[in-house]
Every structure is written in structure tokens, then in C-alpha cells.
Structure 1
């Protein structure tokens, strides 16, 4: 955590920001290690404060030993008043805040508490950019989360039957994740059978899995706050010719995109490669989403492997240490869909696939 704090301070110095207020739960956790549901971090070049209420004081002291702890006591001493006191104590004149997190109402409250002496400066993606490249501890957690996900799918697949509903299959997968040591699923598990599989984010219902039709299973284990993400498309019984063709095109697109992965590759280029393969197979109209996204403390985070507008600036390059999903999909509304997804670690000379479930 001390290294992350140093990186944040270096970023603030580069932006000429003397201090930063972090209120996003993922920012609090990433920078300090604190996992409580309420609190804020106030960080300057010399000071690092963790502010929370009485419910979390013991946890905060244990999880964030490098931070100075201050108790919030509403209504007598709300967060805004405590921040104002500390900012005055530290001589802060400009205070950055996470613009994507703070509400308009909260901004008004802070403005009233800080007065004219302290300028609130909106910022975007400061911590998010630090989180893009994972350290060794994060990569180890993501490996374990991916392994649990693989094992849970392997445990449940033999029990699936044509008369089982999507909802029952999703529940069995979630139970298996818990049984294997996950905190829970990374997101509501998707089981989409038949034409439902043409809906990329289908909600499992009472439709049965059936025979001879595509079944998309999208799932992931959450472990110590870190998420896995895996998609497999299966058939119970014999697949039809459409399934064989669509599956082959999807798998070819995934493999082509993966083979190009390396540090320096623009995010958008990986997506473009998969789209070209799918288009050449005659399924360009069946593309409904981008190739992939970063995975970590949030299930969908940077890097974003997606195409950019023709007049947009070039997309950033991949970097060693990034972990991203690679998940091309083809969706045909009158038939169904196929999606194949793996987690991939960008290495210094290429990539490593973290997901090991058979395809």
C-alpha cells in the first residue's frame, strides 16, 4: 500500500495538486487497504488521513496502518467539517476530488464547509489509471479467482440437463463458487439458453436449457475484492450447423486477437482484429459489444478494448501488468448467440491466459 500511496503522490505533484480527497470505495481500498463501506481519504505530500465513523475504527486501524485515523461523528462532526478542519490544519488551498463520484449535493456541502479559502478541483481517473497495471499481489488474487471460476464451472457442467431452468443453473454455479472459496460471484451470473443467448446480458429465468441450442454461461468468482470473468457457450446434445459455424468464427476471432496482444498494442487494435475476423466470416451484423475490458477491483474497468471514432485520438497502448477480458461474441436474434471469454494478463513480451476452462 505504501508504494501505491507514493504513486498517487507523484501523480498529484505532476498535476500540481497539493492534496486529494478520495471518496470512491475502490479508491479507498486500493490506496489504503481499508474495506469498510463508509469513509474517505485525505492525502497530501506529507499527510495521509483515513476518515470513518465508529463502526469501522478497529477495522480501519488494522487494515490501513500507514494512515492517520480520524473519526467522523455526525451530526456534531460530519465528514465535510472534518475535511475542512484538516485542510485548514495542513494549509491546503486547492483540493482535488473525484468528479465521477461526488454528487452535486455533496459538492454543495463541501463548498459550504470549505468556504472561499479552499478551491475544490475536479479530477478524473487519477486512481483508475494507477489501478490499470496490477502488482504481484493483485495478479496472484486474479489467478486464484480465475481458478475458482474454472473449477466451479467444471463442477456444475456435468449436472446440467435439458429440463433444468436457466435460473437453477445460475444458482448451482453460484453455490459452487461459494463452496470453492469465493466471497461470491463477481456479478449476477448469466445463463442464457436458445434465443435468449442473443441477449449479451440476459437475466436467467424459467426457460429450460433445452437440447441442441446454444447456452451462454458468463460467470466469475470474487476473491478478496478482486473479480474473475469467464464465458463459455455450450450445447446439451448435438449442435446444429449454425452453432458450429458461429462458434468457429467466434473462437477464431478470440485467438486472432489474443495472438496480437503485447505491450504497446493500442487498445482499439485488438478489438479491430476480432471484428475483421468476424466480418470475414459473414457475421459483422452480429457484433453487439467491444472485445474486452480490464478486470480488477471492479468487474469492468480500464483498459477498454474497443474501437474508437475516426476523428478520436489514438487509444492508449497496452502495458505489461494489465489484466483484461478477451470476449468476442456473435448474436443472431432469430437463433441465439455465442460468446467466448478468457482473462488475459499482458506480460513483458506478450500475454498469458489466466482462464483454463476448456472450450
Structure 2
């Protein structure tokens, strides 16, 4: 955690911020190791405080030994008042905060207590920028989460039958994830059969899996806070000609994008490569989302493999240590859809697949 704190402090110095209040759960965990569901970090050039309530003080002391613990007390010392006291203690006149993690109501509470003696400075993507490149420990957790995901899918696929409902299949996958050591699913599991597979984020219902139709399964294991993300599209029985052609175009798009991934490639270019393959195959109208997204402590985080506006710059470059999904999809409302997704680690040589489930 010391190295992460030093990187954050360097980022704050670049922004001329003497301190920052961090309230996003992923920021708390990444910088301190604290896994509780409530609290905040206040970090300056010299100090690091973890602010949480009595439910978590014992856990906080064990999980975040590098931080000084200060207890939040709902009536006597709520979070804004505690932050105001620390601002005086640290002689702060400016304090950064995570704009995406703080509500308007919370901002107003802090502003009222600080009473213009401390300027609140909205920031974006400070910690998110640090989290984009994974360290060795994070990569190992992502490998293990991906391996559990692969194994869970392999365990469940032979048990699927045409009479089974989407919801039943999703539950079997969730149980398998737990049985294989996951803390839980990374997100609500998607099982979408037939025309439901044309809805990228379909919620499993009572429709049966059926025969001869596409079935999208989107799943992932969560392990020690880190997420995996995997999608396969299958058919029970014999696929029709549409499935064969749509699947082939989706797979070709994914493989072309994966071959392109390397350090220095702008985020948007991989999306453009996959998109071109799908459009050339005649299914451009079936594109409903970007190529992929970073995966780590959040299931969706930077880098974002998506196109940019024609007059906009191509976006930041990929870096060694980034982990991203690669998940092109083709969705035809009158028929169904196909999506194929794997996790990929950016390496010095190009990239490495972390997902190994059979297609």
C-alpha cells in the first residue's frame, strides 16, 4: 500500500492539491486495504487517515495498518465534522474530492461545515488513473478469478437442457462459482436465450433455453474484490445458418482486435478494428456497444475500448499491465444475438489471454 500512497501523493502534487478526501469504495480498498462498506480516506502529503464508524473500527485497524484511524459518530461527530477537524489539524485550505463518488447532498453538508475556510476541489479519475495498470498481486487475483470462471462454465454446460429456464441456468452457474472458491459473482449473471439474446444486458427469466437458438451466457467470479468477466454464446442442438454466420463474424472481430492489442495502441483503435470486421460481414446494424472495458476492483473501469468522435483525438494508449475485456457482439432483434468475451492482459510483447474457456 505504501507504493500506492506515494503514487497518489505524486498525483495530488501534480494537481496542486495538499490533500484529498476519498469516498469511493474502490478507492478506499485500493489505497488502504479496508474492505468495510462505509468510510472515507483523507490523505495528505504527510498523513493518511481512515474515517469509519464503530461497526468497522476493529476491521479497519487490522486491514489498514498504514492509516491512522478516526471514528465517525453519527450524532456527535458525523463525517463532515470529522473532516473539518482534520482540515484544521492539517492546516488545509484546499481539499480535493471525488466528484463521481459524492452526491450533491453530501457536498452541501461538507461545504456547510467547512464554511469556506477550505476550498473543495472536484477531481475526476485520480485514483482510477492509478488503478488502470495492475501490479503483480492484482494480476494474480485476476488470473485466479478468470480460472474459477472458466471452470464454473465448464462444470455447468453439460447439465444444461432445452427444458431448463434462463433463471435456473443462471442459478446453477452462481452455485458453481461459489463451489469453486469465488466470493460470489462479479455481477448478476446473464443467461439470454433466443430473441432475448439480442438484449445485451437481459435479466434471466422463465423462458426456456430451447433448441437450435442462440444462448448468451455472461458471467464472472469475484475473488478478494477483483472481478472476472466472460461471455460465451452456445446452442443446444443444431445451430441454424444465421447462427453460424453471425458467430463467425463475431469471433473474427474478436480475434482481429486481440491480435492488435499492444502497448501504445490507442484505446479506440481496437474497437475500430473489430467494428470494421462486423461491418464488412454485413452486420453493422447489429453493433450495440463498444469493444471492451477494463476490469479490476470494479467490473467496469478504465481503459475503455470504444470509438471516439470523428473530430476527437484517438484516446490514450494501452499500457503494460492493463487488463481489459474484449467482447464484440452482434444483436439482431428479430433473431437473437452473439457475444464472445475474454479478459486480456497487455504485455510487453502484445497481450495475453486470461480467459481460457472453450468457444
- TM-score category, normalised to shorter length: over 0.9
Counterpart mapping for 1:10-29 below 5 A: 10-29=10-29
Q: Describe how 1:240-251 pairs up with structure 2 within 5 A.
A: 240-251=240-251
Match of 2:226 in 1: 226
Stretch moving more, 211-220 or 108-117: 108-117
TM-aligned CA deviation for residue 101 of structure 1: 1.2
* Contact 2:263–2:319 (CA under 8 A) maintained in structure 1: yes
Aligned to 2:236: 236
Q: Return the alpha-carbon distance in structure 1 between the equivalents of residues 314 and 151 of structure 2.
A: 39
Deviation at 1:314? Answer: 2.6
Q: What CA deviation, in whole Å up to 9, does each residue of 1:26-60 have, x standing for no partner?
A: 11001100000111100000000001111101100
1:89-108 CA distances to partner (integer Å, 9 max, x unpaired)?
Answer: 11111000011111111111
Counterpart of 1:207 in structure 2 is 207
Calculate the TM-score normalised by the size of structure 2: 0.99
State how far apart, in whole Å, the 1-side matches of 2:337 and 2:83 are.
Answer: 51
Aligned residue in 2 for 1:63: 63
Kindly state the Cα deviation for residue 313 of structure 1 after the two structures are TM-superposed: 2.7
CA distance in 2, matches of 1:152, 1:116: 54
Distance 2:309 2:45 in 1: 39
Q: Does 1:90 align with 2:98?
A: no
- Secondary structure at the aligned position of 1:71 is classed as strand
Deviation string for 1:267-301 (max 9, x for gaps)? 00000000000111111111110000000011011
Query: How many angstroms apart in 1 are the aligned matches of 2:203 and 2:40?
Result: 34
Q: Distance in 1 between matches of 2:76 and 2:248?
A: 64
After TM superposition, give the deviation of residue 116 of structure 1 in Å. Answer: 1.9
Please name the residue that 1:305 is paired with. 305
Tell me, in whole angstroms, the C-alpha distance in 1 between the residues paired with 2:219 and 2:135: 24
Distance 2:192 2:111 in 1: 48
Unaligned runs of at least 5 residues, structure 2: none
Query: Hey, what does 1:181 align to over in structure 2?
Result: 181
1: CA distance, partners of 2:127 / 2:325: 20
Residue 171 (1) aligns with residue 171 (2): yes
User: Matches of 1:348 and 1:62 in 2, distance apart?
Assistant: 36
The alpha carbon displacement at 1:312 in A equals: 1.9
Aligned residues: 359
Kept in 1: contact 2:96–2:120 (CA 8 A): yes
Matches within 5 A, 1:68-87: 68-87=68-87
TM-score (norm 1): 0.99
Rounded Cα–Cα distance in structure 2 between residues aligned with 1:204 and 1:74: 40
Structure 1 gaps, min length 5 = none
Contact kept in structure 1, 2:269 and 2:314, CA below 8 Å: no
Q: Could you tell me which residue of structure 1 aligns to residue 328 of structure 2?
A: 328
Residues in 1 aligned to 2:190 and 2:116: alpha-carbon distance in whole angstroms: 50
Question: What is residue 5 of structure 1 aligned with on the other side?
Answer: 5
Q: Which residue of 2 aligns with 1:347?
A: 347
Partner of 1:105: 105
> Residue 55 of structure 1 aligns to a residue in which SS?
coil
Query: Hey, what's the Cα distance between the residues in 1 that align with 2:92 and 2:293?
Result: 37
Tell me the distance in 2 between the aligned counterparts of 1:185 and 1:117: 45
Alpha-carbon distance in 2 for matches of 1:76, 1:311: 53
Report the equivalent of 1:216.
Answer: 216
